[in-house]
Structure 1
Amino acid sequence: MNGRGTAKMVSLCALFAVFAMAISYLERLIPPLTAAPGVKPGLANIAVLAALYLFGMRYALLINLTRILLTGLLFGDLNSLFYSLCGGLLSFGMMCLLLRLRCFGVVGVSAAGGVFHNIGQLAAATVTLGSGAVWGYFPVLLLSGTATGILTGVIAHLLVRKLQGVLKWLPPGS
């Protein structure tokens, strides 16, 4: 990619990261959707998932890490940053694996990402609390992670389809 292409990619990555951060912040303002604590829609993952399909793994990882770190530092604390990193990185790894295997579409990859985000956060809670008792909450998080992953996957799929036409200048798998 030449200098202009690189500058465009940096600008797009920054735009996607800011979009994800804004959604993360707005999600914190939404009252709980269920009586189950910790269940959130995870809509910030729309930007990461779309970037994964549009720009490739390297740029999507950059966007994901930027969102997690800046959102955690600006709006959270070290504990929430730790939980977000554990969930976000495990989720991202699983989504990349499934994308490489080409066994699911955007919605399936996103649903798995939602579940693995919750698994990563349960692992973080196990370490933080020094107890595996939190895994009793896994069935609730399995259902919520799947449902919210499907929702974000549908939205990301629509966004990817729309942006593929707009971003024709991007080489495949940038």
Structure 2
Amino acid sequence: MILSYIEVILPPLFPAVPGIKMGLANIIIVFLLYRRGPLLAGAVSLVRILLVALLFGNTMSLMYSLAGGVLSFIVMILLRRLKFLSTVGVSVAGGVFHNVGQILAAMVLLDTNQLAYYLVMLIITGTVSGIFIGLCGATLVKRVPQKF
């Protein structure tokens, strides 16, 4: 929650492109996915999405966040099983599919295909943020003691 709040008060990364955030709270989700498993990571992710929407958002932001969060989490769970993908690779896929889920939800809710053009920019930013989140998550997995 604290990481989500920090993102709310920070200025936008790309002011010309609305809605782009780093997804700092996903560092914890990636850490939990690798350290504690998908059940706890999924529960924390869902509670975080609900609380952030309740405290800082609205119904539409909840719909977009749920669509992106659920799709990205499913993709990360599936890809985590592939031994050749690193934590960073799984996180990048999560970042990209989070944006795909949000755009698909927006296209359905707003009944327009025009938003698909926005996906190109979101895939790029999802990749960049996924790398950062994955590196941070991998560092936590490596450095935080197993007993945590």
Please report the TM-score for the alignment, with normalisation by the length of structure 2.
0.95
Q: Secondary structure at the match of 2:81?
A: helix
Q: Secondary structure at the match of 2:17?
A: coil
Distance in 2, Cα, partners of 1:138 & 1:84: 15
1:32 aligns with 2:4: no
1:167 aligns with 2:123: no
1:100 aligns with 2:74: no
Task: Give the structure with higher Rg (CA).
Answer: 1
Cα deviations by residue, 1:124-161 (Å, 9 ceiling, x for unpaired): 11011101110011110110000000011101111111
Q: Runs in 1 of length 4+ with deviation above 6 angstroms?
A: none
Distance in 2, Cα, partners of 1:127 & 1:25: 28
The residue type equivalent to 1:101 in the other structure is L
Distance in 1, Cα, partners of 2:81 & 2:41: 14
1:111 aligns with 2:92: yes
Long gaps (5+) in structure 1: 1-20
Cα deviations by residue, 1:73-111 (Å, 9 ceiling, x for unpaired): 122111111110000110101000100222311100000
Q: Please state which structure has a larger fraction of its residues in helix.
A: 1
Q: Where does 1:1-174 land on structure 2 (aligned, <5 Å)?
A: 21-34=1-14, 35-163=16-144, 166-168=145-147
Distance in 1, Cα, partners of 2:19 & 2:54: 19
The residue type equivalent to 1:55 in the other structure is R
Distance in 1, Cα, partners of 2:55 & 2:71: 22
The residue type equivalent to 1:33 in the other structure is L
Q: CA deviation at 1:28?
A: 1.0
The residue type equivalent to 2:3 in the other structure is I
Q: Secondary structure at the match of 1:101?
A: coil
- Aligned Cα root-mean-square deviation (Å): 1.1
Q: What corresponds to 1:5 in structure 2?
A: none
The residue type equivalent to 2:75 in the other structure is M
Percent identical residues: 48
Please report the TM-score for the alignment, with normalisation by the length of structure 1.
0.81
Equivalences, count: 147
